[in-house]
């Protein structure tokens, strides 16, 4: 398969393509720069001629600077710095590197890479400490700065980020899912989940963690493959009012589960308080509702009650 090198100068954001035959091996060539559209500089452009030394593999190439060259060749660095220096006016966008690949013919193309980084080599007996496929240094400018910005819309076999390797994935700092609202305070290792309108339907052999609003407060749920959703931030506030005590100045821990068109609440604080009395041999007294720590309603019963009862 032939290789193409796209050459872009700092002054002109226009590509000139050099096609390298796949059979080229261990050959050094001096190629003259081809003029770009709107470029008035003379050709041949000998002072900036680039000598390319090619390795055995037709899919790999190296770039070396000729000894007689006084300035860096156009393709020596691979990527180029692009700046706007005008005193006024507005430029919509500039690109340090632009890629657009695809198939315009009737033949078959198996894969197209907008950017491809090979595994790297260290075969000369020396050492290589850190190898980066892509490295983004800290930003010094920009009201909004993105090290990587994916804008791929949802669709079949479309992914904003697809990590197919089996190596661990490391994230330092806050991770936001479905929200751009950052948490505040001293905690900096947080996974923040945005509000969902309802429960997800899990796929085969999967379970999930999600968040949704429960009477004005977003709570965290886990859901299994069968569709049972359990609130794990155990402060459900939408159970019947009689299921709450809040006797010690703290909110009761009330668990909430959903499955098969029903909701079950369990006041774990009340359950533990009654159990403690039983263990201590203390008398357990109260009305039936005061001694009940679990309750089940259908969705229809739940909605009807919400319309007639103020929730906790």
pLDDT single digits (tens) 207-244: 999 999 988 889 999 999 999 999 998 888 899 999 99
pLDDT single digits (tens) 80-113: 566 777 778 888 888 888 889 999 999 999 999 9
pLDDT single digits (tens) 242-261: 999 988 888 899 999 999 99
Tokens of 196: 């969902």
Q: Is the pLDDT of residue 124 over 60?
A: yes
pLDDT single digits (tens) 134-186: 999 999 999 999 999 999 999 999 999 999 999 999 999 999 999 999 999 99
Residues in the chain: 312
**Residue-level pLDDT at 159:** 95
Question: Domain extents for the chain?
Answer: 1-102+109-124, 192-306
Look up the pTM and report it. Answer: 0.60
What is the spatial distance between Cα 99 and Cα 78, in angstroms, rounded to a whole number? Answer: 13
Judge whether 75 and 61 are in contact, CB under 8 Å: no
């Amino acid at each position: 398969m032939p290789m193409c090198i796209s050459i872009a100068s700092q002054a002109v954001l226009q590509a000139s393509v050099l096609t390298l035959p796949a059979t080229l091996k261990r050959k050094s060539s001096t190629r003259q720069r081809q003029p770009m559209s709107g470029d008035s500089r003379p050709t041949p452009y000998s002072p900036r001629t680039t000598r390319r030394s090619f390795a055995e593999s037709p899919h790999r190439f190296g770039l070396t600077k000729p000894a007689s060259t006084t300035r860096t060749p156009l393709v020596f660095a691979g990527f180029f710095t692009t700046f706007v220096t005008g005193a006024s006016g507005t430029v919509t966008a500039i690109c340090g590197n632009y890629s657009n690949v695809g198939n315009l013919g009737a033949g078959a193309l198996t894969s197209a890479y907008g950017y491809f980084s090979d595994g790297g080599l260290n075969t000369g007996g020396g050492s290589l400490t850190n190898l980066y496929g892509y490295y983004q240094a800290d930003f010094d400018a920009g009201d909004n700065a993105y090290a990587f910005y994916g804008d791929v819309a949802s669709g079949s076999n479309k992914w904003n980020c697809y990590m197919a390797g089996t190596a661990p994935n490391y994230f330092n700092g806050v991770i936001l899912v479905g929200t751009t609202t950052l948490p505040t305070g001293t905690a900096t290792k947080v996974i923040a989940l945005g509000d969902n309108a309802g429960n997800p339907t899990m796929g085969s052999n999967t379970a999930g963690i999600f968040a949704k609003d429960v009477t004005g407060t977003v709570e965290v749920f886990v859901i299994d493959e069968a569709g049972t959703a359990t609130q794990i931030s155990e402060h459900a506030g939408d159970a019947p009012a009689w299921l709450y005590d809040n006797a010690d100045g703290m909110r009761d821990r009330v668990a909430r589960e959903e499955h098969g068109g029903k909701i079950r609440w369990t006041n774990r604080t009340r359950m533990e308080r009654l159990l403690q009395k039983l263990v201590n041999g203390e008398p357990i007294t109260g009305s039936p509702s005061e001694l009940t720590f679990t309750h089940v309603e259908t969705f229809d019963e739940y909605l009807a009650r919400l319309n007639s009862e103020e929730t906790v």
